[in-house]
Chain A
Amino acid sequence: MSENAAPDADQTSGSEGSPLSDEQFLQELRQQMHRFATLQLGDSQLAEDAVQEALIGALKNVRTFAGRAALKTWVFAILKNKIADVLRQRQRFVDADQLLHADREGHDLDELFDRRGHWLKDERPAHWEDTEAAIHDKHFWRVFDACLNHLPVRQAQVFMMREFIELESHEICAAAEITVSNLNVTLHRARLRLRECLENNWFVREA
């Protein structure tokens, strides 16, 4: 149903030759897709299945990809749709563990705001310099990965459904079996934590 949502791969000019004939590139791509899918689905085997299907789907529609970036954009768009489909099908999945987690996460905000709801002095968000440059820096992505892995599982999953797979609120609520207000609370916390982690470890580092 969502097969057609893949955007046209942009035809960037490149002198890399066909990326499909580069085994090392394909290997890395596969690993990256697997990591992405595993975080989403919480299950390595399901993730592997989704990656397989996405790759087969991509290869079936082989076009002339002018570069690796174009191929990657295309393959990830397909993978995102596969993951979204799995998540939508998994509506009746309740995990007691996650309910326990949700409970414990209730104390999160006390570490950031005082009793009147104002930022604690050391927690006030600062101005971020050079956000555009970070995206092109591989060291930044290591920090980003680490910050994402630091989020409680539930928060990371919901955040990724929203911001990576770009599901709408009602789709996430159905897939994760949560209410809209629960979703909003979870996203709020995930964003607070993630921004704090990125700020402390990248954007506003002590020199």
Chain B
Amino acid sequence: MRNCRETTRLLSESQERELTLSERTSLKFHLAMCSACRNFGKQLGTLRQIARSYAHGAADRAEGGGKRDK
């Protein structure tokens, strides 16, 4: 049984490489019971989306009140 520390490490690594079957299985097991790690997993996707938007200039297209650009 993996703990949260190892689970977040695996989740992070899954952004760089495909996890093995046994890694994915143990991950699924932990995530089924741990909402904090589930949130962490979702946030990794959000972080990536944010970082790429930033690199593409989203920060300078943004408006003060959350108005859409396109």
* Chain B residues, CB < 8 A from A116: 3
Q: Does A73 contact B (CB under 8 A)?
A: yes
Q: Which secondary structure characterizes the binding site on chain B?
A: helix
The one of B36, B46, B62, B67 in contact with A128, judged by C-beta atoms closer than 8 angstroms, is B46
Assembled-state Cα–Cα distance A142/B56 (Å):
16
* Chain B residues, CB < 8 A from A68: 61
* Chain B residues, CB < 8 A from A184: 9, 12-13, 16
* Chain B residues, CB < 8 A from A76: 55-57
Q: Does A174 contact B (CB under 8 A)?
A: no
Q: Which residue of B lies closest to A168 (CB)?
A: B16
Q: Does A134 contact B (CB under 8 A)?
A: yes
Q: Which residues of B contact A (CB under 8 A)?
A: 3-6, 8-9, 12-13, 15-17, 35-37, 39-40, 42-44, 46-70
Q: List 7 tightest A-B contacts by C-beta distance, closest first.
A: A117-B3, A163-B51, A141-B59, A117-B5, A124-B36, A72-B57, A125-B39
Q: Which residues of A contact B (CB under 8 A)?
A: 12, 28-29, 32, 36, 68-69, 72-73, 76, 80, 109, 112-113, 116-119, 124-128, 131, 133-141, 144-145, 159-160, 162-166, 168-169, 183-184, 187-188, 191-192, 194-195, 198-199
- 12 other contacts beyond A184-B9, A187-B12, A198-B47, with CB at 8 A cut-off? A32-B57, A69-B61, A109-B5, A112-B5, A125-B37, A127-B39, A136-B67, A136-B68, A163-B47, A164-B52, A195-B40, A195-B43
